[in-house]
Structure 1
Amino acid sequence: MSVLKVCIIALTEQGLILANRLNSLVENSEVLYKPKPFTQTVQEHFKQGHRLIFISATGIVVRTLAPVLQDKYKDPAVLVLDEQGEFVIPLLSGHEGGANDFAATIANKINAKLVQTTAKAYVKPIYTIGLGCERNCPISFVQSLITQALFDANLELSQIKSINSIDIKADEQAFMALSTLLNIPFNTFDVPTLQTVEDQLSIKSDYIFQTVGVYGVAESSALCGASKITGNESELVLNKIKNTKATVAIARSYP
């Protein structure tokens, strides 16, 4: 039985240190440091069925591999690690592709925490909601959209740690009322802070940018809200959904 090739992809010098460490511990592995052209190189290894270990942000992995994903029965295992090697996330093909077991093996080798989202989670994520709306939007439009968002993301309201928006919405009556009604903190962020997560938005609205200075309020504020709680990077788990008067997005971050 042949041993699957493992590509360890690092994008920073700190990540390279961990990559070289893994290379010495993982059979039939090789290190790819800042491969060029990045997208083409990574996608080609993926299409060849090679297992991939990324030492990078999860968002980079998702955006790079999205065009070549097939299904959980054909895609190879993909793991994501942080630069410090504290966490190991089986991102793709957890069960059928063996990513869960592979991640557990890697976590054991480097004494890291396994973050397994397909089954029992060892580290529970923090979830936050981002909100946008027309001025003086009726609370019913926002509340119904939150209910829909939670359903779409398969989450319970009890899992949401904060609701968030842009600072010009700090006095939005619907948002303040929902914070009280749901007993969830309401935070707002200024434009420079929201701009720090611009590259993670699922879609960028020029109209919103011209109006308030950021390309998306709901997604940006959800991402910033999650990072504010954990102090770590965040990612979208539900891209913004909307009705005629409001938008809602959900993000998460790991402590």
Structure 2
Amino acid sequence: MTDSRKPRRPITLISLTDPGRALVEKLLTFMPEAEHLDRPQPFQDTIRERFRSGHRLILLCAAGIVVRTLGSALSDKYNDPPVLVIDEHGRFVVPLLSGHEGGANEWARQVAERIGAQPVITGAQRYTRPLLVAGMGCNRGCPLDTLLALLDHTLSSHGLQRSDIHALASIELKQDEAGLHELATTLEVPIMFYPPAVLNEYSEMLSRKSEIVFRETGCYGVAEAAALAHADRLVKHDFHPELIIPKQKNADATLAVARIYQNT
């Protein structure tokens, strides 16, 4: 399997106040790989260095501070990394630079949703649509009816329907499961299977890591990790897919749904 994803730019979070630092702690729960700089000195040189090195930036401060700091470091909207500004109380998320081409607009929407803020998109709007991937796990020989029952119940309880699902995904161990292939045929969507090594790339994004599942499959979770892995490969973006429905289960199957945004 060829991985067509481009390398993600690193993320740097910058706080200048105590409330801002507290909000960064919340941000780090869903972007644990990010670097956090609290009141860095010398401020302008440090921020410009990260920006010129290609870091995606989230600054918890006034927008004017960011404009004055990065003005001399700007190149163009096709190469500059995305920059978000969030007020220290976490009410608004503003994509300040590289909104369309750099993905800052979609990134702002994702961050705002996670912290309960309002995204403030000031540029001309493209239509963006979410692509949803259902990750599935199941016991050996699980029939189609059982898979459909779990899927329909989960989707309806979250205000979704079958037609909202763009693709299915699971672990390679299940690639010979007739029920999963029948489910893909019923939904008229593709299904992809990933090895444990790929699924483990998303272990820190899981709602829960299971040692039992790891012993049985070689990864810490099938449904959630498979949904994230395939969503990550649907479009080329600098930011992560989101797990919008954590693992649901019945007696014989598990299901999770991940989302990524597609520009159209």
TM-score (norm 2): 0.62
**Is contact 1:7-1:30 (8 Å) kept?**
no
Classify the secondary structure of the residue corresponding to 2:234. helix
Look up the match of 1:192.
197
Note closer, same or farther for the CA distance 1:92–1:86 as it changes in structure 2 (3 Å cut): closer
Kindly provide the CA deviation profile for residues 98-145 of structure 1, in whole angstroms up to 9, marking residues without a partner as x. Answer: x24xx124xx3xx8x68xxxxxxx311211000001111122211111
Runs of 5+ unmatched residues, structure 2: 1-16, 25-33, 37-49, 69-85
In 1, Cα distance between equivalents of 2:58 and 2:206: 32
Shift of 1:193: 0.8
Classify the secondary structure of the residue corresponding to 1:250. strand
- Between Structure 1 and Structure 2, how many residues are aligned? 195
- Runs (4 or more) in structure 1 with deviation over 3 Å come to 5-12, 14-23, 27-31, 78-85, 90-94
Matched, 1:77 2:92: yes
Question: Which of residues 32, 57, 63 in structure 2 aligns to 1:26?
Answer: 63
Note closer, same or farther for the CA distance 1:137–1:17 as it changes in structure 2 (3 Å cut): closer
Note closer, same or farther for the CA distance 1:82–1:155 as it changes in structure 2 (3 Å cut): farther
In 2, Cα distance between equivalents of 1:177 and 1:93: 34
In 2, Cα distance between equivalents of 1:218 and 1:211: 14
Residue identity (%): 28
**Is contact 1:165-1:221 (8 Å) kept?**
yes
Shift of 1:78: 4.2
Matched, 1:248 2:263: no
Kindly provide the CA deviation profile for residues 151-201 of structure 1, in whole angstroms up to 9, marking residues without a partner as x. Answer: 233222222111110001001011011111221111100111111111100
Shift of 1:21: 10
Question: Which of residues 101, 121, 132 in structure 2 aligns to 1:104?
Answer: 121
Select the structure with the greater relative contact order (CA < 8 A; seq sep ≥ 6).
Answer: 2
Question: Which of residues 230, 241, 246 in structure 2 aligns to 1:239?
Answer: 246
Matched, 1:166 2:181: no
Look up the match of 1:177.
182
Matched, 1:203 2:220: no
In 1, Cα distance between equivalents of 2:93 and 2:246: 22
Note closer, same or farther for the CA distance 1:20–1:175 as it changes in structure 2 (3 Å cut): closer
In 2, Cα distance between equivalents of 1:251 and 1:141: 21
In 2, Cα distance between equivalents of 1:82 and 1:137: 49
**Is contact 1:234-1:251 (8 Å) kept?**
yes
Note closer, same or farther for the CA distance 1:92–1:248 as it changes in structure 2 (3 Å cut): same
Kindly provide the CA deviation profile for residues 16-62 of structure 1, in whole angstroms up to 9, marking residues without a partner as x. Answer: 86659997x8246699xxxxxxxxxxxxxx9xx8244xxxxxxxxxx
